[in-house]
Amino acid sequence: MILNEGDYVTGKGIPVGEYLGIDELTQGTGGKFHKIYDLSKKATHYVPLNAEGALRKLPSKSTIMKNLKIFESVKIIDMGEIDGSRYRYFNEKLDKMTFKAEIEVLHDLVVLKKDKNTSVSENKLLISLREKVVNEMSHILASKSDEVEKLLVLQ
């Protein structure tokens, strides 16, 4: 992944951040790091260069709109692929760090919740994932959270 200064990124513990480039730290372990300014926490994060997989660029507006079409379906996407714990499967899918994976898992959890078929851990995952996705989409679409929430409802 190629990051340019000013790109908006997300990652573990960083809801939405602005990429500030590569910085070399001289204290502690030293080394080169991706420098990210967390827009919600108003703090700077340093992500090691070798942990680049922990970051991803925020999707474009067109990518968001294309992926939202998934909410037109009331059927679970991944049911045929799940072998064992759904919760574990969903978390493994989210580890891929793609917007598409986030939207697909969110969709499936919304469908399961509607059918009253979610576990306690899946409910917690649904809440945290919805918050993350709404935050990202609000930033890219320049919309309020409640407007974005309406886009994440089954048709």
What is the spatial distance between Cα 84 and Cα 66, in angstroms, rounded to a whole number?
A: 30
Secondary-structure breakdown of the chain: helix, strand, coil percentages, each rounded to the nearest 5 = 50, 20, 30
pLDDT confidence bin for 117, thresholds 50/70/90? confident
> Are 51 and 67 in the same domain?
no
> Are 107 and 48 in the same domain?
no
> Are 92 and 49 in the same domain?
no
Q: Which residue has the tokens 């072998």?
A: 83
In a domain, 2, yes or no: no
The pLDDT of residue 49: 86
pTM of the model: 0.85
Q: Which residue has the tokens 């929430």?
A: 149
What is the spatial distance between Cα 46 and Cα 59, in angstroms, rounded to a whole number?
A: 22
Please write the tens of the pLDDT for every residue from 77-93.
866 666 668 899 999 99
In a domain, 78, yes or no: yes
What is the total residue count of the chain? Answer: 155
> Are 44 and 86 in the same domain?
no
Residue type, 116: K
Strand partners, 32: 24
Please write the tens of the pLDDT for every residue from 28-80.
666 889 999 999 899 999 888 887 678 899 999 999 999 999 999 998 886 66
In a domain, 132, yes or no: yes
